[in-house]
């Protein structure tokens, strides 16, 4: 009975390796890397938009007390452009740091695979042991991975280090989404204030003079 279960586990393990090879060699509609990128982009949009709603709002509220529509618009736009550039640059630096960290870990893992193959193979057995797969069954996976160095490294990066390869344009896309969402979010609090001043009719000569001076 135990031999039958081991054989069944071994068959499943070999099937998993075959599927892994196919996944690495054939593009799929949705991959873990794509899910991670979508999540990062959505996070950048949310953070940028929420910051855009708060910081420019405080500035606009303060400038509106001066009664000058020109000052409100010019000051608000200046803050929007400066804030969008700052937020975009911060997102770019964060994404670029992730890329450098991935490359550093990739180089280190490649060295470990070549210099300490036995230790790395044991790590694979330990990974499968967490899912209840026996040492005998995971041996087939280790042998298949050892015959495919690229898949071996990718397997270790994903399952051991929990790292996904950053996209080629992730840094620039992160900066774009963050900066643009900040700018759009910052426009919202400016519109009511600017519109109310632009469409308000002066009721006296004194107020008309003050309006024209704005």
Confidence of residue 206 (pLDDT cuts 50, 70, 90): very low
Q: Tell me the average pLDDT of the chain.
A: 78
* pLDDT, tens digit, 9 for 90 and up, residues 111-132: 988 899 899 999 999 999 988 9
Would you say 14 and 139 are in contact if contact means Cβ atoms under 8 Å apart? no
Tokens found for residue 134: 């026996």
Residue 20: partners with Cβ closer than 8 Å, 6 or more residues away: 151, 155
Would you say 95 and 83 are in contact if contact means Cβ atoms under 8 Å apart? no
* pLDDT, tens digit, 9 for 90 and up, residues 147-181: 898 899 999 988 888 888 887 788 999 999 999 99
Confidence of residue 4 (pLDDT cuts 50, 70, 90): very low
Other residues' Cβ atoms within 10 Å of the Cβ of residue 113: 18
The residue with greater pLDDT, 167 or 182, is 182
Give residue 178's pLDDT: 95
Q: For the whole prediction, is pTM greater than 0.85? A: no
User: Which of 18-27, 50-59, 88-97, 190-199 is most confident?
Assistant: 88-97
∠144-6-134 over CA atoms, to 5°? 65
Give residue 34's pLDDT: 61
Alpha-carbon gap, residue 116 to 110, rounded angstroms = 10
How many alpha carbons lie under 13 Å from residue 206 in its C-beta half-sphere? Answer: 0
The mean per-residue pLDDT over the stretch 174-189 comes to 92
The mean per-residue pLDDT over the stretch 91-97 comes to 93
Tell me how far CA of residue 117 lies from CA of 122, 149, 152, in angstroms.
9, 11, 11
Q: 69 pLDDT exceeds 70?
A: yes
Closest by Cα among 195, 197, 198, 186 to 57: 186
Q: 92 pLDDT exceeds 80?
A: yes
Instruction: Say what percent of the chain tops pLDDT 90.
Output: 27
Alpha-carbon gap, residue 59 to 187, rounded angstroms = 12
Residue 46: partners with Cβ closer than 8 Å, 6 or more residues away: 181
Give residue 207's pLDDT: 44
């Amino acid at each position: 009975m135990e031999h039958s279960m081991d054989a069944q586990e071994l068959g499943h393990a070999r099937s998993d390796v075959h599927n892994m090879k196919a996944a690495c060699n054939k593009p799929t509609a949705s991959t873990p890397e794509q899910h991670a990128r979508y999540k990062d982009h959505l996070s950048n949009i949310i953070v940028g938009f929420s910051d855009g709603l708060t910081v420019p709002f405080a500035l606009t509220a303060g400038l509106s007390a001066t009664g000058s529509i020109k000052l409100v618009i010019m000051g608000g736009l200046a803050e929007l452009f400066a804030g969008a550039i700052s937020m975009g640059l911060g997102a770019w630096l964060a994404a670029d740091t992730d890329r450098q960290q991935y490359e550093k870990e990739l180089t280190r893992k490649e060295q470990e695979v070549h210099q300490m193959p036995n230790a790395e193979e044991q790590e694979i057995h330990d990974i499968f042991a967490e899912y209840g797969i026996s040492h005998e069954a995971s041996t087939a996976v280790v042998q298949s991975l050892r015959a495919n160095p690229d898949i071996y490294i990718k397997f270790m990066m994903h399952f051991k280090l929990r790292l996904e390869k950053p996209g080629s344009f992730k840094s620039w896309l992160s900066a774009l989404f963050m900066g643009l969402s900040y700018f759009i979010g910052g426009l919202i609090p400016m519109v009511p204030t600017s519109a109310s001043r632009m469409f308000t009719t002066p009721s006296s000569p004194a107020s008309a003079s003050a309006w024209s001076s704005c």
